[in-house]
């Protein structure tokens, strides 16, 4: 390969955004950052790489298979594949315990899967280190405000609670040496909404969990679930979601929210609220999150946590056209000769215009 080859051909997944694509992404990030600050979240600037173990402790599914890992001085390092783990570690090791609200923005890098294009994703997100329905509602409303301010059309939040499917699963699992294997297979069935896999894993005791796959829709599903015989964990999950929806109703926001009592988002580290956000035009979720009360314990400081991330790229892809207000603002064009006095005069005028807040464009000599 000649050097001009590597200049012209970017490796698969290495993407440069220009023009409108770049402006849209920045607008999503900047809008989100303003909203996050407005709710008292403090930005943390997290490293681009860290010990691979940090990501593994974060529990995300990206840690092992999908991160770019390399060794340096005998340490196994990984490129940032996930923000949550880094934010949790920063909270435990770098921040005072009073710091309860963090936000981050930037790229994560993952090894490309089969056929899937870009392997770098832009994300913005928050972590809120607090327990309770109030904290759950706060992060939901912060995410909602970002989407409202961006003018995203028709977005829908789907809420679930890890305690519901996991509570039913624990009760359905027979004792025995293959319990872990059955649990993993049942979880795969839940993630794929595949009743046959759940039945294969749990046999005759699969019924309540298979039925849970049908519990999605409006707030009515909470009532429907509550009328069933449930183990304590699952009942508590329904009650907690009920407490959330009642406040959303009082705020007249309930029409943005749906429920799905079987959703686990393909992870099993959530311990409470789970949510995903979808919007027309985006084939995949534009954001999601939940409560993971065991996360900080993995870094040595057991504290509750709830958070979410939004996909900057996917949201940028569905932003309404008209809202690109920050481009093409007032311009004061300066023209003149490129002599010493001409340049000095034009730059003096340009600096004065800038000082008054106007946009300028310095044109070449006439």
Partner 1 sequence: MDPPLVAALPTGRLLRAVTGLLDRAGVPLPEGSADRRLRLRAGGMEVLFAKDGDVPIYVEHGVADFGVVGRDILEEQPAHIYEPLDLGVGRCRMVVARPVARPLPEPPLRVATKYPSVTARHFGARGVPIELIRLSGAIELAPAMDLADAVVDLVETGATLRDNGLVEEETLFESTARVVVNRASFRLRGSALQGWLQRLETATEEG
Q: Which of residues 198-237 bind partner 1 (CB under 8 A)?
A: 213, 216-217
Q: Per rule CB under 8 A, is residue 176 in the interface with partner 1?
A: no
Please identify, using beta-carbon distances, which residue of 165 and 233 lies nearer to partner 1: 165
Query: Applying CB under 8 A, which part among 95-103, 280-288, 294-302, 324-332 lies near partner 1?
Result: 280-288
Q: Per rule CB under 8 A, is residue 177 in the interface with partner 1?
A: no
Query: Applying CB under 8 A, which part among 18-26, 141-149, 161-169, 186-194 lies near partner 1?
Result: 186-194
Please identify, using beta-carbon distances, which residue of 39 and 191 lies nearer to partner 1: 191
Q: Per rule CB under 8 A, is residue 118 in the interface with partner 1?
A: no
Query: Applying CB under 8 A, which part among 10-18, 34-42, 104-112, 193-201 lies near partner 1?
Result: 193-201
Please identify, using beta-carbon distances, which residue of 53 and 285 lies nearer to partner 1: 285
- Calculate ∠ Cα 178-180-181, nearest 5°: 65
Q: Per rule CB under 8 A, is residue 121 in the interface with partner 1?
A: no
Q: Per rule CB under 8 A, is residue 145 in the interface with partner 1?
A: no
Q: Per rule CB under 8 A, is residue 68 in the interface with partner 1?
A: no
Residue from 279, 310, 312, 319 in contact with partner 1 (CB under 8 A): 279
Residue from 29, 136, 268, 276 in contact with partner 1 (CB under 8 A): 276
- The first and second tokens of residue 287, run together, are 């954001």
98 contacts: CB under 8 Å, gap ≥ 6: none
Query: Applying CB under 8 A, which part among 47-55, 111-119, 237-245, 248-256 lies near partner 1?
Result: 111-119
Please identify, using beta-carbon distances, which residue of 283 and 364 lies nearer to partner 1: 283
Residue from 207, 266, 302, 320 in contact with partner 1 (CB under 8 A): 266
Q: Per rule CB under 8 A, is residue 193 in the interface with partner 1?
A: yes
Query: Applying CB under 8 A, which part among 68-76, 92-100, 248-256, 283-291 lies near partner 1?
Result: 283-291
On whether the CB atoms of residues 313 and 122 are closer than 8 A, the answer is yes
Residue from 192, 348, 351, 354 in contact with partner 1 (CB under 8 A): 192
Q: Per rule CB under 8 A, is residue 110 in the interface with partner 1?
A: no
List residues near partner 1 by CB under 8 A: 114-116, 154, 156, 158, 192-197, 213, 216-217, 258, 266, 276, 278-280, 282-285
């Amino acid at each position: 390969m000649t050097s001009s080859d590597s200049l012209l051909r970017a490796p698969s997944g290495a993407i440069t955004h220009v023009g409108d694509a770049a402006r849209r992404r920045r607008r999503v990030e900047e809008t989100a950052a303003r909203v996050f600050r407005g709710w008292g979240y403090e930005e943390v600037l997290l490293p681009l790489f860290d010990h691979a173990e940090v990501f593994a402790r974060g529990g995300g599914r990206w840690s092992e298979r999908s991160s770019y890992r390399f060794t340096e001085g005998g340490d196994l390092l990984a490129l940032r594949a996930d923000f949550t783990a880094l934010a949790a570690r920063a909270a435990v090791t770098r921040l005072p315990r009073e710091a309860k609200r963090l936000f981050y923005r930037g790229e994560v890098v993952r090894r490309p899967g089969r056929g899937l294009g870009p392997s770098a994703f832009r994300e913005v997100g928050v972590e809120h280190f607090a327990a309770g329905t109030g904290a759950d509602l706060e992060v939901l409303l912060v995410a909602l405000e970002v989407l409202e301010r961006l003018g995203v059309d028709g977005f829908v939040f789907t809420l679930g609670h890890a305690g519901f499917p996991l509570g039913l699963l624990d009760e359905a699992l027979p004792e025995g040496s293959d319990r872990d294997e059955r649990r993993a297979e049942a979880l795969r069935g839940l993630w794929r909404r595949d009743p046959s896999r759940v039945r294969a894993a749990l046999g005759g005791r699969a019924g309540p969990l298979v039925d849970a796959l049908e519990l999605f829709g409006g707030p009515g599903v909470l009532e429907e679930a509550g009328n069933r015989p449930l183990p304590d964990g699952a009942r508590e999950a329904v009650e907690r979601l009920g407490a959330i929806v009642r406040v959303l109703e009082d705020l007249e926001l309930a029409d943005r929210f749906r429920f799905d009592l079987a959703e686990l988002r393909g992870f099993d580290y959530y311990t409470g609220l789970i949510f995903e956000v979808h919007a027309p035009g985006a084939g995949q979720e534009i954001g999601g999150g939940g409560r993971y009360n065991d996360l900080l314990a993995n870094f040595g400081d057991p504290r509750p946590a709830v958070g979410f991330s939004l996909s900057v790229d996917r949201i940028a892809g569905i932003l309404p056209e008209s809202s690109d207000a920050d481009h093409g603002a007032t311009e004061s064009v300066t023209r003149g000769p490129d002599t010493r006095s001409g340049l000095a005069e034009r730059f003096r005028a340009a600096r004065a215009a800038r000082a008054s807040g106007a946009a300028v464009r310095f044109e070449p000599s006439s």
